[in-house]
Amino acid sequence: MKDEVVFDHEKLDVYRLSIEFQAWVGQLLDEGFGGRPKPSATKHLDDASTSISNNIAEGNGKRSKPGRARFLDIACGSAFECAACIDALVVRGLLKQERAKTGKLLLHRIVSMLHSLRMKLCPKAQE
- Backbone dihedral angles phi then psi of residue 15, each to the nearest 5 degrees: -65, -45
65-100: buried (b, 16+ CB within 10 Å) or exposed (e) per residue? eeebbbbbbbbbbbbebbbebbebbbeeebbeeeeb
* 48-100 pLDDT, tens digit each: 999 999 999 999 999 899 999 999 999 999 999 999 999 999 999 999 999 99
Instruction: Report how far residue 59's alpha carbon sits from residue 75's, in angstroms, rounded to the nearest whole number.
Output: 9
Q: What is the pLDDT of residue 37?
A: 74
Q: pTM for the whole thing?
A: 0.90
Domain-wise residue ranges, the chain: 22-126
Indicate the CATH number for domain 22-126.
Answer: 1.20.1440.60
Residue 38: half-sphere exposure toward Cβ, Cα within 13 Å: 14
Residue 4 has pLDDT above 50, yes or no: yes
* 20-47 pLDDT, tens digit each: 999 999 999 998 877 777 888 999 999 9
Question: What is the torsional sign of CA 19, 24, 28, 31?
Answer: positive
Residue 127 has pLDDT above 50, yes or no: no
